[in-house]
Amino acid sequence: LSVSRTVLREALRALEAVGIIHVKDGAGAYVSDVNATTIAQHLSPLFEMSSDEDLEHMVQARAAVEVGAIPFIIQRYTRGDAERIHKILQSLGN
C-alpha cells in the first residue's frame, strides 16, 4: 500500500481517541457504534491541516482504510447497491 506503519498507527490512535474505532490488542480495530454526524464532527478538525506533511499522512491513512474496506464491501455488496450506484452515475452524466 506504500503507507508506513507509523502513519497507520497514528491514524488508528486518532480515530480511537475520538471514539470512532476501538482497538483490541491482537484482534484488530473495529468501528464503534456511531452515526455519520458523530463521525463528521470528530473528523472535521482533521481537514484543517497545518502542513503538507499532515495532509500527506491523511491521504496515506485514507488509502489504507479504503483498501482495507474492500473485503468488507465485497461481502455485503448487493444488486440493490449496484442499481443505486448506476443511477447516481447516470445522474452525474446529465
Note if the pTM is more than 0.75: no
Q: Return the percentage of the chain with pLDDT > 70, whole number.
A: 91
Alpha helix (H) ranges present in the chain? 5-17, 36-43, 52-76, 79-93
Q: Is the pLDDT of residue 67 over 70?
A: yes
Average pLDDT over residues 76-86: 91
Dmax of the chain from CA atoms?
49
Q: Write down the pLDDT at residue 80.
A: 92
Q: Is the pLDDT of residue 1 over 60?
A: no
All cell numbers assigned to 27:
484482534
Report pLDDT digits (tens) over 14-64. Answer: 888 878 888 888 888 888 887 777 777 777 776 666 677 777 877 888 888
Of 64, 14, 61, whose CA–CA distance to 39 is shortest? 14
